[in-house]
Amino acid sequence: MRCSHTLRRAWKPAAGRFSSESDLPFPENYTGVYKDGVNQAARRKPGNEQSFVAPEWGWAWPANRRTLYNRASADPEGKPWSERKRSMWWDEAQQKWAGYDVRDFPPDKAPSYRAPENATGMDAIDGDTPFFMHTDGKGWLFAPSGIKDGPLPTHYEPIESPAYNPLYGQQSNPTAKVTASPLNPVAPPAGVEYPVVATTYRLTEHYLSGGMSRFDSWLNELQPAMFVEIGIELAQERGIEHGDWVLVRTPRSEIEARAMVTPRLHRLQIAGQYVHQIGVPIHFSFTGEVTGGQANELTPMVSEPNVKMHEGKSFMCDVRKGRLEQASDKPTVKWAKRPKETPMAETPEQAQPEGRSA
């Protein structure tokens, strides 16, 4: 399935040879999610013709299970917590679990089952413990070991944030890895030079990453150009219209893109100040059938401490109408300083909600 669009592109049938999708060679191997001769992903049974779980509307991975840990919908004895919302329950007469969803535990494991001392795998999880992805089957409020910034969860602001941490004095995760480099300057919190929050995301019409998308003509036809998603309020404030060229700048770089003005994004009210946000797709770069500004030129080089995941989902930027002008090999863009009369909070005390202290 992962290579389906690549296969279609390489294989070009003669015109008129195949009259429908079902006439294609090996359709069950390369399109949809097939089981028992039915394209499970294409199912659209109306809600009034099936249960509230809607198992016959599309397909859920894995196993078409709609609710993870659905054993938790019943109490330790296997009775639904709520008869009105019952999902899974223990059928004493048949000595097995019944319900509307696909079970995420052995169907014949009774609620009274207790694991033997040397049991392993699923056999080591009692019948009243639903969280099978933990070795003890219990739900955890915190991870007792194995994480570098634990054991108790807490709130940190991103490395670049429009506000100070409202809970306490530690602004961002002290164990996050920030790459020390002249190429990686970081914007100060609650600064006035980079007042807009940017978040990156994938596009539905693109396949996974840019390197796997920009060379596929079908996908490029659906998403032919780099853009940034901008809320209506920010667009009006900056004189930007839908389709205009805009510049997005961070302390590290700047890119140009088309503006997609949309009501999907709204300004946020944080610590008494309004903060705008924009969305930046990750798929475009300098090479491929379609090219455009590269989101990774904007993001800070910061890694989460446990799995080293790149912190590219939230960072600070500024947005202006215009285009990059190339002077030799470097962009030369004139950026006006943001007016001082409407700054974000410049101290943790100013960022506190009324009536609260850090």
Instruction: Provide the pairing of β-strand 277-281 with 196-201.
Output: parallel
More confident: 342 or 242: 242
Average pLDDT over residues 158-177: 93
Residue 190 within any structural domain of the chain: yes
Q: Answer whether residue 150 shows pLDDT above 90.
A: no
With contact defined as beta carbons under 8 Å apart, do 251 and 187 qualify? yes
The dihedral region occupied by 99, where left means phi > 0, alpha psi between -120 and 50, and beta the remainder, is: left
pLDDT band at 255 (very low <50, low <70, confident <90, very high): very high
Domain of residue 186, CATH code:
2.40.40.20
Which residues have a Cβ under 8 Å from the Cβ of 306 and sit 6 or more positions away?
147, 148, 149
pLDDT of residue 208: 80
φ/ψ (deg, to 5) at 234: -65, -40
Torsion of CA 179, 183, 189, 192, to 10 degrees: 180
With contact defined as beta carbons under 8 Å apart, do 90 and 78 qualify? yes
Residue 11 within any structural domain of the chain: no
Among candidates 320, 307, 242, which has minimal Cα distance to 276?
A: 320
Q: 44-53, 85-94, 321-330, 342-351: lowest mean pLDDT where? A: 342-351
Q: 65-74, 146-155, 223-232: lowest mean pLDDT where? A: 146-155
Residue 207 within any structural domain of the chain: yes
Average pLDDT over residues 51-72: 91
Among candidates 137, 123, 72, which has minimal Cα distance to 99?
A: 72
- pLDDT tens figures, 308-319: 998 888 999 999
Instruction: Provide the pairing of β-strand 277-281 with 227-231.
Output: antiparallel
Residue 141 within any structural domain of the chain: no
CA 141/CA 127 separation, integer angstroms: 20
pLDDT of residue 326: 56
Average pLDDT over residues 270-291: 93
Q: Which domain holds residue 183?
A: 177-341
The alpha-carbon radius of gyration of the chain (Å, integer) is 26
pLDDT of residue 345: 43
- pLDDT tens figures, 88-135: 999 999 999 999 999 989 999 999 999 999 999 999 999 999 998 888
Average pLDDT over residues 188-215: 89
Number of domains comprising the chain: 1
- pLDDT tens figures, 13-46: 344 443 444 444 444 444 567 888 888 888 999 9
CA 43/CA 57 separation, integer angstroms: 5
Two tokens, residue 247: 């510049």
CA 69/CA 140 separation, integer angstroms: 13
pLDDT of residue 221: 92
Residue 154 within any structural domain of the chain: no
pLDDT of residue 178: 93
Torsion of CA 296, 298, 302, 308, to 10 degrees: -20
Residue 358 within any structural domain of the chain: no
Q: Answer whether residue 57 shows pLDDT above 50.
A: yes
Among residues of the chain, what percentage have pLDDT more than 70? 82
With contact defined as beta carbons under 8 Å apart, do 110 and 97 qualify? no
Among residues of the chain, what percentage have pLDDT more than 90? 61
More confident: 140 or 335: 140
Two tokens, residue 130: 């639903």
pLDDT of residue 62: 81
pTM of the complete model: 0.66
pLDDT of residue 353: 40
CA 220/CA 145 separation, integer angstroms: 45
Give the C-alpha distances (Å, rounded to integers) separating 40 from 67, 72, 162, 271: 18, 27, 44, 47
For the chain, give the mean pLDDT: 83
Residue 310 within any structural domain of the chain: yes
CA 312/CA 295 separation, integer angstroms: 9
Give the C-alpha distances (Å, rounded to integers) separating 309 from 151, 178, 279, 305: 19, 12, 19, 8
Residue 99 within any structural domain of the chain: no
pLDDT of residue 32: 60
Max Cα distance, the chain (Å): 81
More confident: 232 or 12: 232
pLDDT of residue 240: 98
Q: 56-65, 203-212, 266-275, 347-356: lowest mean pLDDT where? A: 347-356
